[in-house]
Amino acid sequence: MHLPKSSRALAILSLLTIASPATAADPNASGGTLGVYYENDMFAGTDRYYTSGAKVSWSSPDLSQYSDSPYASPFLPLFNLLPYINETSYQKNLVFGIGQNIYTPDNTETYALSGGDRPYAGWLYVGLGVVWKNERVRNSLLLDIGVVGSYSYAQESQRYVHDARGFDHPNGWDNQLHNEVGFILAYERTWRFPHIVKRSGFDWEFMPHAGAALGNVKTHANLGAELRFGLNLPDDFGTGVIGPASSTSTPVDGSMGASRSWFPLGMYVFARMDGRAVGRNVFLDGNTFGDSHSVGHRLFVADISAGIAFNYKNTKLAYAFVYRTKEFDNQLEPQVFGTVSLNWTF
């Protein structure tokens, strides 16, 4: 995705901050997992509603305690107050991320405000989180903080992409949501069944999940599951769409990790569903403070996706097609978009 100078600078700064691995006593220790995610409805031949999302994330190598990572130092007083995350029976990961989402109405030709259509909106954010996991379950607690409105540079990002593809620019960005600082605090728990002790040959895995998010940007409770089948399954917790608690990969490693096949190449197909009971969605409900364009949201929204993934040693490339049910009452059709992700443990 081609980002404007301000967004590129922020992305480069974040990568320089998080990508250098911590000095470890073990010279062979992992430097963590770098994840790159891109979602766009161009894969479905449309350009509306949730039209684009991009995210870069980094999760630390497995930690015995969060203080083992120098990046955790500013946050240790907070981490020490949180229950459960410091239990010694779990592997622990520190997670950072940066991302941008873009939303537009169906009618992008008019300059006027389309009252019953989805508002123009962007979301530019940075994220910090913790993960604690073992071979059977993963817990994720993440906080995204960012800005909604023109400071998200969503209009500029979309203009770059449309110029590169030879498309006309959407004309109604003057009606986008106002600038507003936002946050999302999200927790999600994922289980894995059955317990696979050797990830070699053909196998299957079922991974239900449940969680909740709270914030002036999004508030919801969610429940879902992923089913996958294939050759030499990776020792991770599946492949979700971009979200604060679902998209960062934290593979199980070390003594808790399953033994692997001598043959390093694997592949699998997967199907995933996630249902949400929505309390607030600023991209539909409008700004929290002050008047803005809004359409209201539907109480229940579901994502159904199917995809394929390839893994080679410590690298995984995945693609999925996502069907999202209608999010607001006047929405013409459900949404379909594609999501591609690359995760590299180095």
The total of other beta-carbon atoms located within 10 Å of residue 261's CB is 14
3-class SS of residue 327 = coil
Residue showing tokens 């593809």: 165
Listed residue (127, 66, 124) closest to 95, CA to CA: 127
Residues facing residue 345 across a β-bridge: 33
CB–CB of 270/226 below 8 Å?
yes
CB–CB of 66/77 below 8 Å?
no
pLDDT number for residue 30? 62
From CA 107, how far away is CA 101, in angstroms rounded?
A: 19
From CA 161, how far away is CA 3, in angstroms rounded?
A: 8
From CA 45, how far away is CA 38, in angstroms rounded?
A: 16
Number of domains in the chain: 1
Mean pLDDT by 10 residues, the chain (346 residues): 45 40 42 94 92 96 92 90 90 95 94 92 97 95 97 94 85 96 97 95 97 98 98 95 85 88 95 98 95 95 98 95 96 96 93
CB–CB of 339/305 below 8 Å?
yes
Per DSSP bridges, beta strands 259-260 and 198-199 are parallel
Its pTM stands at 0.89
Q: What sections of 232-307 are H helices per DSSP? A: 282-285
From CA 127, how far away is CA 129, in angstroms rounded?
A: 7
Q: What is the CATH number of the domain that holds 12?
A: 2.40.128.140
pLDDT number for residue 23? 35
CB–CB of 267/279 below 8 Å?
no
pLDDT number for residue 124? 98
Range of the domain at 71: 5-345
B/e letters for 45-65, b = 16+ CB within 10 Å, e = fewer, are: eebbbbbbbbbbbbbbbbbee
